[in-house]
Structure 1
């Protein structure tokens, strides 16, 4: 059984830097190589995070025989092609969300992973952090009864620049795929797949959504109100109304450290802190290594089914708001 894993990172932006920081906290993980289309950027990143090698092309890293796992942190539009190239080179893949641009791309990625018999997982790190796992267990135990409603938002003020990733259609820009995916993921994993979807959006001059409001409706009467925006700072909370209590994942609900507040009628509010010593990316990386140690080719947590369900929801929302890439 392999006990040490050599990681490669493709795409060296902000998230990659956070991931590299947390990788250093995992004793049996080694940052072997990094790749950017700029050799100078790759060299600087390698120096910052003690990577053994750096490359000025993605293919060089993918074909490095010393790399076991590749973390892909490029813009969404490149995820499919890079993932497939990695899988065909027999590299395990942890690919950032959104996994692909649409269901067709995600299906192709999964089909390639199965055909090549290589591990593939969407890097939806929220699923693995302690406070989110705690809330999932609360729901599983049905401690407070059924969920009646869920409200989740994610918003920040982004300077408008049509050439930067957030507003650039060619790079898969828009609030839905970048940050709206988190409220959508929360509703999907905490309540389930909706029976009806309604969505409206404000489109930017570049043709991507700068703001998106989504409603999920369920046959049992539950409802989820979800929002994402680049136009203003929002609380970025997830509030779940159960039959017997209100559970709130506080500010920046998608990441640690976080606080879960539980309010029951005629009872004092219960506040549970979830302090962490890392940025939170280590949890998904540890999980990937655990899966590989068990010789699994699919995550037992962030399954292919979940990734397919998530991208299908994003596709339906995009159809509703008239967003096509």
Structure 2
């Protein structure tokens, strides 16, 4: 089997975390990096021992030296870069959120299907051994009927108004960057919610600084979630059931341990001793899918990604948060078939 050759677009914080974990992957080679800044590309390639450094994204996208490209730019660039990769026949692992809205995501997944190119949203938490363990416990009925999830992702964002997290033009805000994780966790177990309520605080730069989100399902489950760019929090997740609860330890989205506590207060903890932050597991998944010749991961499918962004769209509509180029959308757009006609008609507004 020939080695799968990886390229990275972007040299920011997330790209660095990804590159530093790459040495722990089971296979594949980190072969190229691209930045629009020559000094950044050179420095990044030297630091991580990457053979090729490109000074514009499209040179990497069109290079014969890579098979799959990891996109680690600000959110608003995901759509255009992923589209270019698909058209160039390159497999893609694109940082979350896959795009800034449902319409863009749907268009790209349709395009990937048409061009038969593997594409995955980089929901790295899904492939963490702790999350795999929690899924097993829930499926095995260890906590009985799972009916409630609480999860937080709070962090202190850099304060400069030009930082991408606070910049509306770059798709900033708490929801798309970190709120996506708690919403992902809830939907992993319960699917797309039937009811969405939230409260958000919008800051001086017109992006959401923090929010508390309540999701409900007709089958009788609830999720209470929060995300913040201005607070500290233990960042644990708790899954509550009729026979006990599961607690995912602090920084649950990259945790190395979790515990199950039964109704009689018996506790079992599991610890995983993996190196780095755990970005290697999503790379292993992509490599496995590419070797099998499938175009999407069964563990974080296109549908999973679409349902996730649909919920985030709904929350943003509710708080009136729109990014440049978006118009206040039609609330009926979550109907799959309806959307299919919609996005072709309206696509000219978007570009």
TM-score by length of 2: 0.90
Deviation (angstroms), 1:28 = 2.8
Deviation (angstroms), 1:192 = 2.1
Deviation (angstroms), 1:3 = 3.4
Q: Would you say 1:155 and 2:172 are equivalent positions?
A: no
Deviation (angstroms), 1:271 = 1.6
**Which structure 2 residue ranges, 5 or more long, are not aligned?**
324-351
- Over 3 Å off, 4+ runs: none
What SS does the aligned partner of 1:145 have?
Answer: coil
Deviation (angstroms), 1:27 = 5.0
Question: What residue is the counterpart of 1:300 in the other structure?
Answer: 298
Question: What residue is the counterpart of 1:243 in the other structure?
Answer: 242
Task: Give yes or no for contact 1:4–1:30 (8 Å, CA) kept in 2.
Answer: yes
Question: What residue is the counterpart of 2:231 in the other structure?
Answer: 232
Question: What residue is the counterpart of 1:131 in the other structure?
Answer: 130
Task: Give yes or no for contact 2:198–2:214 (8 Å, CA) kept in 1.
Answer: yes
Q: Would you say 1:316 and 2:329 are equivalent positions?
A: no
Task: Give yes or no for contact 2:30–2:50 (8 Å, CA) kept in 1.
Answer: yes
Task: Give yes or no for contact 1:7–1:31 (8 Å, CA) kept in 2.
Answer: yes
The whole-number CA distance in structure 2 between the counterparts of 1:9 and 1:251 is 29
Task: Give yes or no for contact 2:201–2:209 (8 Å, CA) kept in 1.
Answer: yes
Deviation (angstroms), 1:142 = 2.2
1:169-318 to structure 2, matched below 5 A, reads: 169-256=168-255, 258-318=256-316
The whole-number CA distance in structure 2 between the counterparts of 1:53 and 1:160 is 34
What SS does the aligned partner of 1:231 have?
Answer: coil
Q: Would you say 1:77 and 2:101 are equivalent positions?
A: no
Question: What residue is the counterpart of 2:341 in the other structure?
Answer: none
Question: What residue is the counterpart of 2:326 in the other structure?
Answer: none
Deviation (angstroms), 1:22 = 1.7
Question: What residue is the counterpart of 1:8 in the other structure?
Answer: 7
Task: Give yes or no for contact 2:27–2:284 (8 Å, CA) kept in 1.
Answer: no
Task: Give yes or no for contact 1:3–1:293 (8 Å, CA) kept in 2.
Answer: no
Query: After the TM superposition, which of the residue ranges 293-302 and 307-316 deviates more from structure 2?
Result: 293-302
What SS does the aligned partner of 2:253 have?
Answer: coil
Deviation (angstroms), 1:98 = 0.3
Task: Give yes or no for contact 1:33–1:67 (8 Å, CA) kept in 2.
Answer: yes
Query: After the TM superposition, which of the residue ranges 189-198 and 39-48 deviates more from structure 2?
Result: 189-198
* Cα offsets for 1:233-288 (capped at 9, x unmatched): 111111011000011101000014x2212111223222211221232011110110
Query: After the TM superposition, which of the residue ranges 122-131 and 138-147 deviates more from structure 2?
Result: 138-147
The whole-number CA distance in structure 1 between the counterparts of 2:286 and 2:264 is 43
Question: What residue is the counterpart of 1:110 in the other structure?
Answer: 109
The whole-number CA distance in structure 1 between the counterparts of 2:113 and 2:239 is 36
Question: What residue is the counterpart of 2:57 in the other structure?
Answer: 58
The whole-number CA distance in structure 2 between the counterparts of 1:206 and 1:261 is 40
What SS does the aligned partner of 1:24 have?
Answer: helix
More helix by share: 2
The whole-number CA distance in structure 2 between the counterparts of 1:239 and 1:124 is 19
Task: Give yes or no for contact 1:3–1:28 (8 Å, CA) kept in 2.
Answer: no
The whole-number CA distance in structure 1 between the counterparts of 2:146 and 2:293 is 36
Q: Would you say 1:100 and 2:105 are equivalent positions?
A: no
* Cα offsets for 1:211-232 (capped at 9, x unmatched): 1110001223221100000111
* Cα offsets for 1:46-96 (capped at 9, x unmatched): 001111110110001011111101000001100010001011111100000
What SS does the aligned partner of 2:147 have?
Answer: strand
**Which structure 1 residue ranges, 5 or more long, are not aligned?**
none
What SS does the aligned partner of 1:166 have?
Answer: helix
Task: Give yes or no for contact 1:42–1:55 (8 Å, CA) kept in 2.
Answer: yes
The whole-number CA distance in structure 2 between the counterparts of 1:193 and 1:139 is 18
What SS does the aligned partner of 2:93 have?
Answer: strand
TM-score by length of 1: 0.97
